[in-house]
Structures are given as structure tokens and as C-alpha cells.
Amino acid sequence: MVCICIAFPGFNFGRIGGGGGDGPFGGGQGYPGLFPEFYSFSCPQANGIVMSVLESVIAEEPRMAASLLRLHFHDCFVQGCDASVLLDDSEVFASEKNSGPNSNSIRGFEVIDEIKSKLEEACPETVSCADILALAARGSTVLSGGPNWELPLGRRDATQASLGDSNNNLPPPNSTIQNLITLFRQQGLDEVDLVSLSVM
């Protein structure tokens, strides 16, 4: 699977958990170029398209909601929310999909591909893959009965992945609670976010 990604200004995690502050998972302060209305003129139906695909997918497989939130989380912990997790191996880098925490673990790529395909039909070369991941994470949370949040948009897509950062920045399965707290704090997240993202 290769997601064809388009570069756009800025990237930001948006709001994921219930806590946090001014870090990258906060409400968007300190991340110029990102704002909720980023696609208001270029692709006003973007969120509607994302939600339509998610409603169908999650109705058929409810666990996919957690998988899509986890996919976004695993993307954001490595180089920021830039869709680098979607990139396949190339001649110049190894895919993050092959890292210890991701191999045979993350899923939902086909859902992101379906969303991207429908967005390309409606608004060619407009919505970044990084924003698709963020919108899918929020939409999955909402459709599962979780909170909604204002999501700054306009993220830039990665042009390369980092297998090393994926191995180093993502929590390994044998992490201690203190190790998890430290890793999450490095991302601007608190213990509430840790619990929210760890139960997926």
C-alpha cells in the first residue's frame, strides 16, 4: 500500500486525549498555519467524506475505530503528525511499518486509502494524508461515543519515514508505567492521555 500524499503547510496533533496542555497534542496553540477551517473553500466536504467512510467501516467492524486512533497515535509519536507511518519502504528509507511496535500491530491502512480515494475524486490534490489520519482519529472517537474536539488542519505530509525514531519513540510492549509516563510527557501528553491511548 502506498498512500499518495500531498504536502501542505504545518502539522499538529490536534486534540486527542482529555488532558494535556500546550504540547503538540493540545488544542493547536503555537502551531501557525493550522486552523479548523483550512479546507473550507478548497474542500468543504472533506470531513463529511471522512465520516461517511468511517460510519460504513465501523458499522461493519467496530474495532476499526480504535485501530484508526492508534494508527494516528503511532504516526504522531514519530516526527509529528505527518503521515510518515503510511509510507512504504523506498531506496532511501525503511518504512515505520517495520518497527518493533508497528510490525504486525497497526492496521487500518485500507480505510485511509479508501478515504483518500474518495477525497481525490471530490477535491483532487487537496487534503493531506496527515490531515486524513487526524480526521479519521477524531471521527472514529466520535462514532464510538467519545468526545469531539476542534481539530486544526493544514498538516504537511512527510516525504520520508524514520524506522529508528519509530523504534525509539513508540512505547514498547514491555514498558514500565514510569517509562510510559515519560514517553507521553515528551509528546506533551499527561496521564489521562496515556490511559486513553493505552486501552486501544
Which comes out higher in pLDDT, residue 27 or 91?
91
Strand partners, 33: none
Q: What is the mean pLDDT of residues 28-40?
A: 79
Is residue 27 within 8 Å of residue 144, measured between CB atoms?
no
For the domain that residue 184 is a member of, what is the CATH number?
1.10.520.10
Set 15, 70, 72, 74: catalytic member: 74
Query: What pTM did the predictor assign?
Result: 0.84
Return phi, psi of residue 194, to 5°. Answer: -60, -50
Residue 27 domain-assigned (yes or no): no
Domain count within the chain: 1
- What is the dihedral angle through the alpha carbons of 183, 186, 191, 195, rounded to the nearest 10 degrees? -50
Confidence class for position 197, pLDDT limits 50, 70, 90: confident
Annotated binding site for substrate: 171
Give the span between the Cα atoms of 85 and 108, in whole angstroms.
11
Annotated binding site for Ca(2+): 75, 78, 80, 82, 84, 96
Residue 17 domain-assigned (yes or no): no
Residue 30 domain-assigned (yes or no): no
The verdict on whether 74 is a catalytic residue reads: yes
Range of the structural domain that residue 130 is part of:
46-198
Residue 184 domain-assigned (yes or no): yes
Confidence class for position 64, pLDDT limits 50, 70, 90: very high
Residue 194 domain-assigned (yes or no): yes
- Per-residue pLDDT at 174: 85
Residue 101 domain-assigned (yes or no): yes
Residue 10 domain-assigned (yes or no): no
SS3 content of the chain, % helix, strand, coil (to 5): 45, 0, 55
Query: Angle at which helices 129-143 and 64-76 pack, to 10 degrees?
Result: 140
